[in-house]
Amino acid sequence: MAIRPATTFLRLALRRAARGTGSSEAFLKRRTAVQPVPDLGAILVSVPWVLVGGLALRAYMPERMTLDVDILVHERDSARAQQALVAAGYRVTGELSIGGFSVQSADDAEPPIDVLTRADRWLDAALAAPTLDPAGYPVLGRAYLLLLKLQAGRTQDLADVQRLLARTALAERAAILQLVEQESPELREDYESLCTLADLEFGPPPEQD
């Protein structure tokens, strides 16, 4: 089986990582909600949704500014979500290669919204029990967000996973590993490498929260 490019990158990172070069624990605990998000709850109404992508990170680590708003809905709700957004004045600007569509506000004053659609077996449970960010918006739970970013495997996604794992309790890491092994067992090495990198840069995790 061919080695994933992300795995090769992580093996290189492990060889070159320096201990204690990450941000302070006080910085990692900062939570802000500076970047505005449209009132999607009022627009989508009965369609369950959660923030994913860069904006979702602010529920778990210091906010990283992004150029768009990424949300996730179940594949079966894609048509309803699109109809609700169009009815609210958004226009569809394209389809997403990973599943879903993009919309833009009529006056272009708001950032574009990418509506990702998936049908994973864990998705209903994740949508029913989201985490809330500092502004009160629903965010995909940490374990599932980590899984999505591991599956994407882009450099920024891997950096996000490493930061998300920083100082995460061992019990939570074990639960995340169980999810990874269940849904994408080929990603176990990548996950374990990122745990090691997180510990090298930010220090070991607590045994419990």
Q: Can you give the pLDDT at residue 177?
A: 97
Which residues make Cβ contacts (< 8 Å) with residue 135, sequence separation at least 6? 33, 37
Q: Can you give the pLDDT at residue 157?
A: 92
Does residue 80 fall inside a structural domain?
A: yes
> Per-residue pLDDT for 93 more than 70?
yes
Q: Looking at per-residue confidence, does 26 or 193 come out higher?
A: 193
Does residue 207 fall inside a structural domain?
A: no
Q: Can you give the pLDDT at residue 65?
A: 79
Does residue 209 fall inside a structural domain?
A: no
CATH label of the domain that carries residue 115:
3.30.460.40
In terms of residue numbers, what domain contains 100?
5-202
Q: What's the structural domain count of the chain?
A: 1
Does residue 162 fall inside a structural domain?
A: yes
Does residue 208 fall inside a structural domain?
A: no
Does residue 66 fall inside a structural domain?
A: yes
Q: How far apart are CA 31 and CA 47, in angstroms?
A: 27
Q: Looking at per-residue confidence, does 73 or 163 come out higher?
A: 73
Percent of the chain with pLDDT over 90: 65
Which residues make Cβ contacts (< 8 Å) with residue 200, sequence separation at least 6? 17, 18, 19, 20, 21
Q: Can you give the pLDDT at residue 18?
A: 58
Return the number of other C-beta atoms located less than 10 Å from residue 156's C-beta: 12
Q: Can you give the pLDDT at residue 24?
A: 61
